[in-house]
Amino acid sequence: MKKNVLLVFVFLFTTGIFTAKADEGMWLPLLIKRLNGVDLKKHGLHLTPEEIYSVNHASLKDAVVALGGGFCTGEIISDQGLMLTNHHCGFDAIQQNSTPEHDYLRDGFWAMNKQQEIPIPDLTVWFLDRMDDVTAQVLAGVTDDMTNEERAILVEKNIEAIIAKEKENGAKQKIQIKDFYNGNEYYMFKYNIFEDVRLVGAPPSSIGKFGGDTDNWMWPRHTGDFSMFRVYAGKDNAPAPYSAENKPYVPKHHLPVSLDGVGEGDFAMIIGYPGSTDRYLTSYGVKEAVEIEQPARVKVRRMKLDIMEEGMNKSQKVRIQYASKHAHVSNYWKYFLGQSQQLVKNHVYDKKKAIEDDFTKWANADETRKKKYGKALPLIEDFYSSNQAYVLPQVYFGEAIMRGPEVLGFAFKNFNPRTKLNKALQEGNKEAIAEAKQEILANADTYFKDYNTDIDKKLLAAMLKVYYDDIDKEFHPKALKKYYNKYNGDFNKLANDYFATSPFTSKEKLEKWLEDVTLEEINKDLAYDLTNSFIEMYYGKIAMPQQSSVDKIDEGKRLFIDGLRKMNPDKAYAPDANSTMRVTYGNVLSYEPKDGVIYKYYTTLKGVIEKDAHTTDKDDEFYVPQKLKDLYYSKDYGQYAEDGEIHVAFLSNNDITGGNSGSPVINAYGQLIGTAFDGNWEAMSGDIFFEPNIQRTISCDIRYVLFIIDKYAGAKHLVDEMTLVKNKPKKVMKRRKKQLKKLVKNGLYH
């Protein structure tokens, strides 16, 4: 009888009849024990909080790293410093080392020994040493009677004093102090930063980016989104600049790799460095995002993508040059497109308004509360009202100008009044002038390697035109008006004429121009003139007028968040993401995106074959390499299959955002089961309002990663480095049945 009941029990879960309660929150690991220790156990965790985060002993936090300070996350998976992250996180490094002759983007790259690993000069890996609550020290002397400006000055002074004291006491790590809950709390973070990082392996984009823009943010997903690096250390296993003498870093802890796979309801924990969320955004902010800001970003980014793609489709060289640039623009083009749609579909404005109505009633119910918190929402509303005129020009300034044509950024970056060359020319210091010129030329190689004049010329014409057409003339800089009149509004002619003589289209032209360059020539260059004029306009007509209203929203948000937490003292509110280490936990789970549709929690290699474009074009989003097809049809899966199938990706209801890309997905026993790489389309509004019924994290199953490394790439030596854990199938099934019972008992499924 028990056996029959259990079979029915498992059937119900695996057919999606039950849904799980997802828990919002990207939690500081320092606070896990106090805030979430009991809840973690209810979800199925078998570790103690100290095994997740500890200052005195090796813990999971010692195996999780921030790439470049937080643009992505990685995890250490061997005692030789081997690091796993997403393919799209390693994309820049792969692209920078690709050429038409050695196209690692298209063909993949695998170092068959450590001597073949490729140093990546600009990539750093940050290990968190410890975090501490320094709220009392940072807010020492702060009073409610202070203006926002007075408060900010004192807070900054206190932060500087804390860091100075740490340095005096011998701290050698990178120290950051960041605010939480919009300035209501502060925490200090100490990092050991490793500079010697080398590319070890990456699958071809046909695996690592399978599905491309079409599948981005979508489920079902079949992307092998991973790449591998190795962290190297100097003497005493300490951080050191690149040297051939460096040795692989020996970590305090590396993650064991589970071959047991995942089942519906399994515990799943993600530790990583989420970049930014805005969960305390008010209804006023939602309205502005949906109606003004995000449609503008989507429009301008789509224009840039169309121009890039036109050039990339003509040449393999150009495709490689612009692969990374295109990926950066494209990812958040689709993100903003999806977020604006889902904010409306998920009725986020109404949900925010309901919270604000409750807050107002609570604040007004007590005179003391009313005096302190009653002004919070009016301050926020006033900001959005007074700021509305600046939203479009601010978005277009950023998207079309500062992140538009590269020639504008290059001109200003290298020749503005604060640069070494400009200062030397002003002073007439010949030695300094010569030195500054050499520095510019030394950096020019990297710039021109990935530069195409035809694409940039079209970008210049298109971005100037869209700014001129869409933005009120009040925000047109003097130079834009001047060149519009000179060319009778023909920005294509402007771009053609400028690029015919521009010194910024090749290193040879730049070198010749620099020989006798003067301040007068710099100032009259069209690219420099335009950028300088745009920046003057921005500070004079946008940034400075906004300052008083920015102070209002800073104060309003700080009071609003503080009030919310006091209004609901029994609720644990997670702070917004800010590129610091966070823990999110939940369970592997299917979901129902709409009526009549159920998405199961995993995909398999069969789905890759079903999506096959049947093309020889390796750049097609759904091109499947022949070797991968051969492995599928021969069922040559090795030890990585489950029930005769290779699992590719899986879902969990963890709470993540950008920056979590590459984060380890860890099971109840502290073992690696996958690598997180995306969210789902139906919950694209999740950075602003968490949707517990549909919020999902998409992760690459670690067994697919191992299968590609071993069977596809023939790099089994990398798998041999890892600590693999595999239990007998009967033990795994027993665990899963016990876990399902536990979730139901704890009321986490209904």
Dump pLDDT digits (tens) for 494-509.
999 999 999 999 999 9
Dump pLDDT digits (tens) for 192-240.
999 999 999 999 999 999 999 999 999 999 999 999 999 999 999 999 9
Q: What percent of the chain has pLDDT over 70?
A: 96
Burial per residue of 192-203, b for 16 or more beta-carbon CB atoms within 10 angstroms, e otherwise = bebbbbbbbbbb
In the predicted structure, residue 723 carries a pLDDT above the cut 90: yes
pLDDT at 22: 55
Q: Mean pLDDT across the stretch 683-707?
A: 96
pLDDT at 23: 66
CA dihedral sign of residues 96, 99, 102, 103: positive
pLDDT at 39: 86
In the predicted structure, residue 15 carries a pLDDT above the cut 50: no
- Relative to beta strand 724-725, strand 257-258 is parallel
Long-range Cβ pairs for the range 745-749 (8 Å, 24+): 746/42, 746/43, 747/21, 748/20, 748/21, 748/42, 748/43, 748/587, 749/13, 749/18, 749/19, 749/20, 749/21, 749/265
Q: What is the dihedral of CA 568, 571, 572, 577, to 10 degrees?
A: -70
Assign 3-class secondary structure to 532-590. Answer: HHHHHHHHHHHHHHHHHHHHHHHHHHHHHHHHHHHHCCCCCCCCCCCCCCEEEEEEECC
**pTM of the complete model:** 0.94
**Whole-number Cα distances in Å, 718 to 87, 187, 750:** 17, 37, 42
Using the structure block, give the residue that is written with the tokens 């489709």: 313
Query: What CATH code would you report for 2-124+195-270+578-745?
Result: 2.40.10.120
- Tokens found for residue 220: 């079902």
Query: How far, in Å, CA of 97 to CA of 724, rounded?
Result: 31
pLDDT at 16: 41
In the predicted structure, residue 544 carries a pLDDT above the cut 60: yes
Helices (H), 365-451: 367-373, 376-396, 406-415, 420-427, 430-449
pLDDT at 20: 56
Residue 647 phi/psi, 5-degree rounding, is -80, 135
Q: Which of 414-428, 478-492, 663-677, 736-750 has the lowest mean pLDDT?
A: 736-750
Query: How far, in Å, CA of 591 to CA of 602, rounded?
Result: 11
pLDDT at 554: 94
Q: Which of 7-11, 419-423, 548-552 has the lowest mean pLDDT?
A: 7-11
Q: Give Cα 518 to chain centroid, integer Å.
A: 41
In the predicted structure, residue 433 carries a pLDDT above the cut 90: yes
- All structural domains of the chain with their residue ranges: 2-124+195-270+578-745, 132-189, 283-558
Q: What percent of the chain has pLDDT over 90?
A: 92
Q: Mean pLDDT across the stretch 68-91?
A: 97
Q: Mean pLDDT across the stretch 437-454?
A: 95
Residue 34 phi/psi, 5-degree rounding, is -75, -40
pLDDT at 518: 95
| Active-site choice (43, 87, 88, 253) | 88
Q: What is the DSSP-derived secondary structure letter of residue 20?
A: B
Residue 24, SS3 per DSSP: coil
Q: Mean pLDDT across the stretch 551-556?
A: 92
Catalytic, 661? Answer: yes
The letter for the amino acid at 325 is K
pLDDT at 18: 44
Dump pLDDT digits (tens) for 91-109.
999 999 999 999 999 999 9
Residue-averaged pLDDT of the chain: 94
Q: What is the DSSP-derived secondary structure letter of residue 115?
A: G
pLDDT at 19: 56
Closest CA to 668 of 588, 572, 582: 588
The letter for the amino acid at 297 is R
Dump pLDDT digits (tens) for 579-614.
999 999 999 999 999 999 999 999 999 999 999 999
pLDDT at 38: 75
pLDDT at 133: 97
Q: Mean pLDDT across the stretch 648-669?
A: 97
**Whole-number Cα distances in Å, 510 to 4, 5, 329, 430:** 78, 77, 27, 19
Cα radius of gyration rounded to whole Å, the chain: 27
Measured from the Cβ of residue 686, the count of other Cβ atoms closer than 10 Å reads 25
Catalytic, 88? Answer: yes
pLDDT at 729: 92
Dump pLDDT digits (tens) for 374-419.
999 999 999 999 999 999 999 999 999 999 999 999 999 999 999 9
Q: Mean pLDDT across the stretch 679-708?
A: 96
Query: How far, in Å, CA of 185 to CA of 179, rounded?
Result: 6
Using the structure block, give the residue that is written with the tokens 């050698």: 172
CA end-to-end span of the chain, whole Å? 23
- Strand blocks (E) in 615-707: 647-652, 664-666, 672-679, 697-701
